[in-house]
Structure 1
Amino acid sequence: MKQILNRLFEHQYLNRTEAKEILTKMAAGGYNESEIAAFISVFLMRSISVDEFLGFSDALLDLRANVDALAAYNPIDIVGTGGDNKNTFNISTLSCFVVASAGYKVAKHGNYGATSVSGASNVMEQHGVKFTSDVSKLEESLDKINIAYMHAPLFNNALKVVAPVRKALGVRTFFNMLGPVVNPIKPKRTVLGVFNLKMARLYFYMYQQTDVDYSIVHSLDGYDEISLTGDFKLINKFGEKIYSPEQIGLSRCTEKELDGGTSPEEASKIFDNVINNTATTAQKNAVIANAATAIQTIDSTISFEEAIAQARESIESGRTRETFKKFLELNS
């Protein structure tokens, strides 16, 4: 690691094979926490290269648990890279439950928050969810209620090894970038939120080389999701376009209206309000916009407006509440 660090400190880059080997060794316990922290810190001071990104991704996908049986459901994942320092409530996770209650299969790959008060796994734990890597239980959840939740460290030893370091650092790392593309199912459908346009280009380059139906979203004021606080960019295999909230029939909101609070308990309360259709208009609309993007990613024949109507109806009819209730019964 000393030799690797010296190279990186001299502004050299790793090739794809080297990046894969380093992360593989890291997962096997080949480096101590200080070495891991030093290595991670390099990528806080300079951008990750495409080869480095692909090498790290290769390692994590090689190390993933075998959940191939779940791929048969062709589920979608809705995930943000995190690290936008906006501390929003759990918009992506809520969107997953809205999409599932609209009748589509969802496999949510999540983790504890590293840079926000409450990540997906935090809010799941707040509700008593017991994380599992038992494929039969995850299949049952997908069968009965269209959604399964996968706590990332249970499915990849590398993520488990670096978790204490990430938590101690408390800043955005390249693992925030890797998380969305190392869902062990390797879903063929995904909505990915990124916090800057440079990262959007990196994922776009990667997804172009696959057969994945993808939507990359970025709010131009820095959110890694459709925030409705301003215009947002949507990139998919059909091209890219900038939308305003008004263009998709939703009103603008303020940054304060999307705040996730100062504790997991506060974030959990907001989560419940959206589920129960008692949230503010801004909170509900942000979830609807992201859920609609997922619905349109699954079925490109329907318009954004139709997808928004489906998402809204799922929340307002109480179907999202019923789906979440059944999810807790199966997964707690």
Structure 2
Amino acid sequence: MSDAIKPLIGAAAERPLTRGEAEAAFAILFEGEATPSQIGGLLMALRTRGETVDEYAAAAAVMRAKCNAVKAPEGAIDIVGTGGDGKHTLNISTATAFVTAGAGVPVAKHGNRNLSSKSGTADVQTQMGINVMVGPEVVEKALKSCGIAFMMAPMHHPAIAHVMPTRAELGTRTIFNILGPLTNPAGVKRQLTGAFTRDLIRPMAETLGKLGSERAWLVHGSDGTDELTITGVSWVSALETDGSVKDVELHPEDAGLPVHPFEAIVGGSPEDNANAFRALLDGEKNAYRDAVLLNSAAALVVADAANDLREGVEKAKESIDSGAAKSKVESLAAVTSAA
């Protein structure tokens, strides 16, 4: 039991914690000094009142400091969603990561098994022959040789083991639902990140700015998805290189792409989603391809590899149709399977 955390729990229930207070509280959690009751008390005090940007930044900074870090190439980007949207779509951000890498941008993708999805990124990558349970050394090797790697959160954030049982017992969303996209072990400075609610995108963009990111788009689709949607409008909070955050709306037509019905991007089992991914890599043209082109275009803009979405779409098409994206999948499978 930690006596030091008791006044912080009380304070968190009544007012926003300062960044220093929040860092102290989360350091106690991650060092295993708090009891399950104290962990639950802090998490629910924050959740009930509503977390602040300083509290997000503090928790993320402590997690980053305690992680098994990875050295990524200059200009690397993370493409990730919070999960939790419950929409069971095809694996759009996963495919986007490989298409972006095929277009020449290094991708250091961070994630976990998604309990809210029938087929999360780890599931579909496993179906594609990629070993996701590899440590920092293999991740760095993959980044150097393949230009893409996947960092499984438990392999890089062992300190979260102290809070996982309490999270499972609470059975509700807490600050940890959004910490994954804020705690990339490679310390990337560019991100395309989806959130399960529009309310989170600006606070998350502001948090990434406080944590030293150079450029990031935080996005939420009007159909409820944690990515840019091909079904209509998406909302974006864009962290710019000058530190400002700009709120914009995007539509597929802004990128020269058609709108598709939501039913056209609904996924299924890991096997079903992997088969759809293989067909995409082989050039099949459908709603899934257009959704991936849209998100890849955004990633390329964030990475300064495209001037606008339309140019990004053309580069993403070339990545797929040239076989470059498929080659990234095959090379990552080879490197991780040999580990």
Structure-2-length-normalised TM-score? 0.85
- Counterpart residue type for residue 265 of structure 1: E
Q: Which residues of 2 match residues 1-332 of structure 1 at below 5 A?
A: 3=6, 7=10, 10-33=13-36, 35-37=38-40, 39-67=42-70, 70-126=71-127, 127-135=129-137, 137-166=138-167, 171-209=172-210, 210-236=212-238, 237=240, 239-261=246-268, 263-278=269-284, 281-299=286-304, 302-332=307-337
In structure 1, how many angstroms separate the alpha carbons of the residues matched to 2:87 and 2:15?
32
In the superposition, relative to structure 1, how do residues 15 and 240 fare at CA in structure 2: closer, same or farther (>3 Å)?
Answer: closer
In the superposition, relative to structure 1, how do residues 229 and 267 fare at CA in structure 2: closer, same or farther (>3 Å)?
Answer: same
In the superposition, relative to structure 1, how do residues 165 and 268 fare at CA in structure 2: closer, same or farther (>3 Å)?
Answer: farther
Q: Is the CA contact (8 Å cut-off) linking 1:192 and 1:214 kept in structure 2?
A: yes
Query: Displacement of 1:100 after TM fit?
Result: 0.8
Structure 1: state its 5+ residue gaps: none
Please give the root-mean-square deviation of Cα atoms over the aligned residues, in Å: 2.7
Q: Is the CA contact (8 Å cut-off) linking 1:110 and 1:119 kept in structure 2?
A: no
In the superposition, relative to structure 1, how do residues 77 and 283 fare at CA in structure 2: closer, same or farther (>3 Å)?
Answer: same
In structure 2, how many angstroms separate the alpha carbons of the residues matched to 1:254 and 1:328?
33
In structure 2, how many angstroms separate the alpha carbons of the residues matched to 1:134 and 1:21?
27
In structure 2, how many angstroms separate the alpha carbons of the residues matched to 1:185 and 1:84?
25
Query: Displacement of 1:40 after TM fit?
Result: 3.5
In the superposition, relative to structure 1, how do residues 188 and 246 fare at CA in structure 2: closer, same or farther (>3 Å)?
Answer: same
In structure 2, how many angstroms separate the alpha carbons of the residues matched to 1:255 and 1:240?
24
What is the percentage of aligned positions where both structures have the same residue? 32
Structure 2: state its 5+ residue gaps: none
In the superposition, relative to structure 1, how do residues 128 and 185 fare at CA in structure 2: closer, same or farther (>3 Å)?
Answer: closer
> Which consecutive aligned stretches of 4+ in structure 1 deviate over 6 angstroms post-superposition?
none
In the superposition, relative to structure 1, how do residues 89 and 212 fare at CA in structure 2: closer, same or farther (>3 Å)?
Answer: same
Q: Is the CA contact (8 Å cut-off) linking 2:73 and 2:106 kept in structure 1?
A: no
Deviations 1:171-203 (A, max 9, x none): 533212111111022111111112333312212
In structure 2, how many angstroms separate the alpha carbons of the residues matched to 1:159 and 1:251?
42
Q: Is the CA contact (8 Å cut-off) linking 1:83 and 1:195 kept in structure 2?
A: yes
Q: Is the CA contact (8 Å cut-off) linking 2:228 and 2:295 kept in structure 1?
A: yes
- Aligned residue pairs: how many? 327
Query: Displacement of 1:24 after TM fit?
Result: 2.1
- Counterpart residue type for residue 315 of structure 2: Q
